[in-house]
Structure 1
Amino acid sequence: MISVCLATYNGERYIKEQLQSILKQLAQKDEIIVVDDVSTDHTVSIIQQLNDSRVKLFRNEHNLGPIKSFQKALEICIGDYIFLSDQDDVWLDEKVHKVLLCFEQHHAQLVVHDSIVTDAQLNTISNSWNLYNRNRFTSSWLLTVIKNPYTGANMAFTRSVIENTVPFPSKIPMHDSWLGAYCQKKGLRIDILSEALSLYRRHEDTVTGGSHKIIKMLMDRMLLFKALWRC
């Protein structure tokens, strides 16, 4: 069984297109866990109008932010294979199939794929997010602390990863770097796919993607290092 975990916040412009691109790749037994972080637009009503029993909507009583919202989704989901999703991307056909092959044939515990970078209208900016963002995947969790190559929207993992990483440490900078670095530190099998399996929107309303201020970057790295050192 597959669980897709998705956090929404004021995503009315893109959420329907994204959910439709995911649903057509899922079986009837699969699920999409949507945690809405107190949207003030029509995001919730758009999701409800899809009227698909595989989409399970949970609404936060107050704003928790993306990390806690994704944690909530991971705590709720029941799938054997868990995919993370942003609210504004589009999954390309065969994404689910190709990622599942890594789990089934290579016994991977974490799978990471590339994406095509686009603007809000899905015009291509770059054919590779990993090249565009200078992501470099190694076996060293310390290098991930220095420069995180893991992007949540491009990640999927087995239930065993959830059991060892959730709840998240209280002061990590972002959930994707924690999940990726933890798997590295514990020596879990990680498959890195060079193929782009989604359209990754970058636009003025993007929720994820932190500040580039040097002090904040250094503090974030220190907090992630401390969390990983303790595990």
Structure 2
Amino acid sequence: MYSICKNTVSFAEIMIMKVSCKVSVCLACYNGENYIEEQLNSILVQLAPNDEVIISDDCSTDNTFQIVKGIKDSRITLVQNKNGKGVIQNFENAISKASGDIVFLADQDDIWREDKVSTILDYFKENETVTCVFSNALIIDKEGVSTGTLFFPSTPKIDLFNLLIKNKFLGCTMAFRANNQLRILPFSKNLPMHDWFIGLRHVLKGKVAFINENLIYYRRHGQNVTTGKSANLMTILKWRFILLKSLVKF
């Protein structure tokens, strides 16, 4: 299985650290019955009583909705879309319901390292001008066994030009301050990737930092939910046009 973090954060330490900081975890799910309970357990153990996990289910046809509903935890808010929205709008739905000071994004099939929340909250506390962070990740297989491979073998460059050429953000590792002056919603129609837009928005109007620690175990299993969009030349150009148009509309 995945490696265990050596520095486990106690509940008392979490409470001291989070007296004035509410965390919202936004998770978009679809047919995630195989992994979602393990993922939620890895998240909930790190949260304080006043935190929340917003789960938006995109009309799952398996037991995902029932599994989440069966987890009796008052911090979970579970909503189910009436019609399938797709990955991006599903995340938008979850984010729109968040009420915390710091918003974390989460996928249904990963596992959070035991000190992910405390590490990121500490980083925000020590770097007050930073508005958005993302981290490295250790890739695991469908059984949770480490592949020994990092998602980012080297530190990504955080500048607008390079990030417009290629998306370097990994949404399931992202967290950002819920700043009303730095709006990200509503997402534009046909937005190529939610994490790409969120990251670029913070590069332009805030400050983005990369934490070179493996704060999640990123699962690759052949059924990962993606936007499902191809990337031919015309699509690539269209994506960038939509991104730029979305960035200037706020």
What TM-score, normalized to structure 2? 0.86
Greater fraction of residues in helix:
1
Would you say 1:94 and 2:112 are equivalent positions?
no
Q: Radius of gyration: which is bigger? A: 2
Would you say 1:146 and 2:168 are equivalent positions?
no
Specify the alignment match of 2:202 in structure 1: 183
Q: Which runs of 4+ in 1 moved over 6 A?
A: none
Specify the alignment match of 1:137 in structure 2: 157
Specify the alignment match of 1:12 in structure 2: 33
Which of 92, 95, 105 is the aligned partner of 1:71?
Answer: 92
Alpha-carbon distance in 2 for matches of 1:53, 1:67:
26
Specify the alignment match of 2:11 in structure 1: none
Which of 89, 94, 103 is the aligned partner of 2:124?
Answer: 103
Q: What is the CA distance between 1:41 and its match in structure 2? A: 0.3
Specify the alignment match of 2:224 in structure 1: 206
Q: What is the CA distance between 1:212 and its match in structure 2? A: 4.9
Specify the alignment match of 2:81 in structure 1: 60
Structure 1 pair 180–66 and aligned structure 2 pair: CA distance change class (3 A): same
For these two proteins, the number of residue pairs brought into alignment is 227
- Supply the AA of the counterpart residue of 2:138: I
Aligned residues of 2:192 and 2:227 also touching (Cα < 8 A): no
Q: What is the CA distance between 1:164 and its match in structure 2? A: 1.0
Which of 213, 233, 238 is the aligned partner of 1:219?
Answer: 238
Alpha-carbon distance in 2 for matches of 1:149, 1:106:
21
Alpha-carbon distance in 1 for matches of 2:249, 2:83:
30
What TM-score, normalized to structure 1? 0.92
Aligned residues of 2:33 and 2:67 also touching (Cα < 8 A): yes
Q: What is the CA distance between 1:125 and its match in structure 2? A: 2.5
Structure 1 residues not aligned, in runs of 5+: none
Structure 1 pair 18–161 and aligned structure 2 pair: CA distance change class (3 A): farther
Specify the alignment match of 1:196 in structure 2: 214
Structure 1 pair 143–118 and aligned structure 2 pair: CA distance change class (3 A): same
